Chain A
Amino acid sequence: MTMKRPYQITAVVFILFSAFIARESLELKFYTSLGPGPGFFPFWLSVFLGLLALNMLYQATFKPQDPMPADFFADAKGYMKMGAILLALVATVLFMEFLGFRLTMLLFYLFLLFALGRQNVLVTLAVALGGSWGVYHVFVEYLKVPLPVGIFGF
């Protein structure tokens, strides 16, 4: 198995991305009486990116490719862990302002410590409480950095 297909897909994504940026750039002022406008630089950059991506597509399609590294795809366990991390991060974004920093981070740590490798219950609780209530106390009380308070008042 070679890197042919991943590089072809990547090249196509970049071609579409550059076409989108070029179109958006042309909606901005391209040139003014003072010289180049806000659309000038991004337009030419997107054209250049598109040409590079076309070259990548050509090379990937018509030239021999490197073999795919053994670790290019992770095993199921690896993807589960990655998925757990991304899920925890996205959930934090969604719930931080609704549940507040402390409760969100408590759940974040409890979930991740369970998902990434189970630890002693006391260690898990200590890390989760320290990373949520402890950090909140230090940042809000001592460093005067505001952190969100949720609907439950904490």
Chain B
Amino acid sequence: MESLALLGHGFTIALQPTNLLFAVMGCVLGTIIGVLPGVGPAAGTAILIPVTFVLDPTPAIIMLSAIYYGAMYGGTITSVLINTPGEAASAITCLEGYEMAKRGRAGAALSIAAIGSFIGGSIATMGLVILALPLTALALKFGPPEFFALMVLGLSLVTGLAAKSMTRALMSAVFGLLIAMVGIDPVMGAPRFNFGITDLLDGFEFVPVVMGIFGISEILLNAESEVRGVFDTKMSTLIPTKKDLKDSVGAILRGTGIGFFLGLIPGVGAVVPTFISYVAEKKVNPNPKEGWGNGVIQGVAGPETANNAYANAALIPLFTLGIPGSPTIAILMGAFMMNGLIPGPFLFKEHADFVWAVIASLYVGNLILVILNLPLIPLWVALLKVPYSILFSLILGFCILGSYSLNSSVFEVGTMIAFGVIGYLFKKLDFPLAPVALTLILGPLMERGLRQSLEISRGDFSIFFTRPIALGLLIIAALFVFSATFRVVSQLRGGDTQL
């Protein structure tokens, strides 16, 4: 009941005209990111962080959250219309959604995706409301050793699930941690690895680094390949038939469950729930009238619902424990921290108004996406006709502007370019970027947790093994890393050469 009362108060803040306006803007910008093939949610969110520089924390985070789940929805549009997923989580939607579009049922596919996304997102947000206070109460009992162990667990999950290769995933994670070490040491205040460069005394700024790693690298990859679909699909009515709705109910409910539970596990990624949902639908209904691969509506409803349920549920570990489960969520966490807010249990204690307003805005945003997106589909389609040269030039110009305006310094633009090249090389060599983003954010917090713990114990490492919660979390983390390593070793023995 307490949660509902707090949520009600959150709605009064989220529905204020200014916050509502920024939620709408976030949904529109997020959808644009989702629509544009080649600019994923992580890149888009990173690129758009500077838009919120001039805002107060509440509208800033409301807008960035809306950009995040708007992007998750926007990817569907191109999957259905031009058989090109705007972001990876919508790839599976191409299978049935594009086939529906070829048969003149693009409107029904997009409507069902929107309805499913709304239901999945709303139910997952309800999960956040229900779990927020109990999880927060538990986390408030944590001291530095428990927080350190929790971050190790989050990191091991993301690293273990992020890549085909455990070695490369761990190298990415350690690389991110080392990047996070640059600047003033968080405990003693001594400068580290700044090599006499005063701009590095505060460490690498988060925004130019993620803009480079995710944004610039994607543009470089796209520039060298340049693949582009051509929109030539005819649109029918947007209203699904009664049969469409009836056929989709089960798929939407199953998609919600799959997306929600996988969203709670850091590192699963948005793609996995959509594939599991698609497979589940094929198992539930092995012989549909149309035949799988020929435009079965459940194949759109299930994965799209799972996608948005995942996106909203993935916010639960972030809000309650301060653990980001994906690169986009890590970027969102970075935006929180830039606004002086550290996600985790203390957020609910010290900034209750803010956090409940953001949670309420998730409902508002999900509704905005349904209301706004379907009538605007012609606009999204028009956007796809903008030549890549113009689109990329504008995005790059925006990246320069965003990184420069952070500190009014070209050093940040240089940082963005350098990390853009690093991100490009990492992607080429199949090094996962999720652990880099995560450790970049968690690095200083982890180090502080470790060193504070050792100060408490006067340098005795047994502090991590004598406190039950810390020990339990570390055991789970170790088991996970060992099982992931064992899996890779087995693959190697079986001739599958993943480093």
Contact = CB atoms under 8 A, between A and B. Distances in A.
A49 B413 CA distance: 28
A45 B181 contact: yes
A108 B390 contact: no
A127 B451 CA distance: 51
Given A41-B450, A55-B167, A81-B224, A32 B400 contact: no
A82 interface: yes
Contacts, number: 167
B428 A105 contact: no
Interface stretch (B6-14, B102-110, B184-192, B313-321): B184-192
A112 B492 contact: no
B389 A112 contact: yes
Contacts of A64: 495, 497
A26 interface: no
A97 B220 contact: no
A150 interface: no
Interface stretch (B25-33, B300-308, B401-409, B466-474): B401-409
B417 A119 contact: no
A36 B450 contact: yes
A131 B394 contact: yes
B451 A96 contact: no
A120 B438 CA distance: 43
Contacts of B390: 113, 119, 123, 127
Contact of B175 (A7, A49, A55, A71): A49
A89 interface: yes
B393 A131 contact: yes
Contacts of A71: 225
Contacts of A101: 404
Contacts of B174: 45, 48-49, 52
Interface in A118-146: 118-119, 123, 127, 131, 135, 139, 143-146
B223 A82 contact: yes
Contact of A85 (B175, B223, B225): B223
B387 A41 contact: no
A60 interface: yes
B350 interface: no
A92 B61 CA distance: 30
Interface in A42-98: 42, 45-46, 48-49, 52-53, 55-56, 59-60, 63-66, 71-72, 74, 78-79, 81-82, 85-86, 88-90, 92-93, 96-97
B115 to A, nearest CB: 37
A72 B428 CA distance: 7
A38 B454 contact: no
B284 interface: no
B242 to A, nearest CB: 45
Chain A interface: which size bin? Answer: 35 or more
Contact of B413 (A65, A93, A131, A147): A93
A28 B192 contact: yes
A113 B393 contact: yes
A46 to B, nearest CB: 7
A21 to B, nearest CB: 6
A70 B424 CA distance: 16
Contacts of A24: 193
A112 B396 contact: yes
Contacts of B387: 117, 119
A71 to B, nearest CB: 6
Identify the interface centre among A63, A66, A97, A144: most chain B CB within 10 Å of its CB: A66
20 contacts: A35-B451, A35-B454, A35-B459, A36-B451, A38-B185, A38-B190, A45-B177, A45-B181, A82-B223, A85-B392, A86-B220, A86-B417, A89-B420, A96-B410, A108-B400, A112-B389, A112-B392, A112-B393, A116-B223, A135-B401
Given A78-B224, A85-B220, A148-B408, 13 more contacts: A28-B185, A36-B459, A37-B190, A41-B447, A49-B174, A65-B497, A66-B497, A82-B223, A86-B417, A96-B404, A108-B400, A119-B390, A131-B397
Interface of A: 6-7, 10, 14, 21, 24, 28-29, 31-32, 34-42, 45-46, 48-49, 52-53, 55-56, 59-60, 63-66, 71-72, 74, 78-79, 81-82, 85-86, 88-90, 92-93, 96-97, 101, 105, 108-109, 112-113, 116-119, 123, 127, 131, 135, 139, 143-148
Q: Please provide the 4 A-B residue pairs with the shortest distance between their CB atoms, ordered closest to farther.
A: A78-B224, A116-B389, A74-B224, A117-B389
